[in-house]
Structure 1
Amino acid sequence: MASPARTIATPHCAACKYFKKKCSPQCIFQPYFPSNQPKKFEVVRKVFSASSVSKILKDVAVDERAEAANSLYFEALCRLDDQVYGCTGIISQLQWLIQYTEAEFATIKAETEMIKALVISSQTHEALLGPQFQQTETSNYTESSVEQNEYNPSDQDETALGSDFGIQ
């Protein structure tokens, strides 16, 4: 007795599941909107409509369809979050952030170059003056000369000090 031919059951894609229809093996949605990701299709359908998504996927080369489906999903999510700008708002924010970061980098780079120039100029200045300048500069300030100029509050009259501040 011959056994009846078995048909291979294809799992429903999220689109066919949503529309409650049988999913054919040639279904354009099946590889990109699997049945275990129904929210992905619902979001894309809500923003673009199923017929538009079908047309877009058919117009794209087969090897680029997965990326196109993911791009449609991302754009749909952005459009639901920001109905006016969608992903254009995110792109604008990122472009502003890039410009801000580049300007900050240029400022830091200019400051670094200025500091390098100051260090080089001070090294050149010290080399030109030689060790003789360095000895005379340090010999002018000894510990005894600093101690002689220290402030000692006991040396002053207390009433004169208080009168400066209006205290009698």
Structure 2
Amino acid sequence: MIKEKLVEKLGDNIVKNSCLWYPEGEKNLRYFAEKFKDKNIIEIGTCYGLSAAVLSEYCEKVYTMDIMDFQGKYDVWYELQRHNIKFILLKDNIDKEIKIKELIDQHNISAVFIDGEHWYGQLKYDFNICAGIENILVHDYNDTHKEIKEFVDELKCEKEIRGNFVLCQKKNP
């Protein structure tokens, strides 16, 4: 598993802000990543790039974006020899919207993984700019992050929940 390898090489601080820190976090992310095998995916919220590293084992290309450029992600991707990850540094929400629309138009995006800001308004914004994508995976769906849970519970989509992850699938008629 990636978590153990990275803790051994880079120390446990590298995983503390990642979905891999949670019990069963990596296992649950891998479960959903398998559904996107050989597809292109966008990740909103990179931090140290651990989720992107896991997704890159399954997906053809991972486009991961954040408003902060945490340098540790490059150590992670180098250590794991990941070459199918592209990091996009964002200036603001307008820049995010432009970049996501470009990726959707140019790269046949099959899924989005949202693990960025943890408040209702930002999650709604991120979700809405990805509205044309059939599969949207959200992390931190739990009672600790009440605004995320509230927003996701309001959605009209098929939901599959595993641990702190929820996959919202919009079925095309």
Is TM (by shorter chain) over 0.5? no
TM-score tier after normalising by the smaller chain length: under 0.3
**TM-score normalized by the length of structure 2:** 0.23
Task: Normalising by structure 1, report the TM-score.
Answer: 0.24
Which of 1 and 2 has higher RCO (CA within 8 Å, sep 6+)?
2
In terms of fraction of residues, the more strand-rich structure is 2
